[in-house]
Amino acid sequence: MTVQPPTPFQSAAPPPEQVVFDRAELGVILGLYGRMVAAGEWRDYAMSFLREMAVFSVFRRAAEHPLYRIEKHPRLRQRQGMYAVIGMDGQILKRGHDLAAVLRILERKLIRPVD
């Protein structure tokens, strides 16, 4: 019976990088979310941090598809802009380099005519 020496452990590869929203970005997003909740438009949210992108999804009710998705794609930083607002049907409503400017398309929903 031959005894083989144990194989040395391979150096552990670092865990895969995740794309996340930083504190300033979350402040802008949650500020808008709070205003929309106060207006009665939105009720719930979810965040997903993936390898390629970070997603903030907004829901009218908890058990349905998201009304809007706010996505951050760092790979698109030099091209179209890394922030995008995507509607319920998958259509890109606005894309750009500045998060506050991209989110202005959703703030228009707060402006209503006064009867």
Is 64 a residue whose pLDDT tops 80? no
The domain in which residue 51 lies consists of 23-109
Domain count, the chain: 1
Do the Cβ atoms of 85 and 55 come closer than 8 Å?
no
| Within-domain flag for 86 | yes
Say what the pTM is.
Answer: 0.76
81-95 per-position pLDDT tens digit: 889 999 888 888 889
Evaluate whether residue 31 is within a structural domain.
yes
| Residue 10 forms part of a structural domain | no
Q: Is residue 44 part of a domain?
A: yes
Is residue 91, in this structure, part of any structural domain at all?
yes
Checking DSSP bridges between strand 92-96 and strand 83-86, what pairing results, if any?
Answer: antiparallel
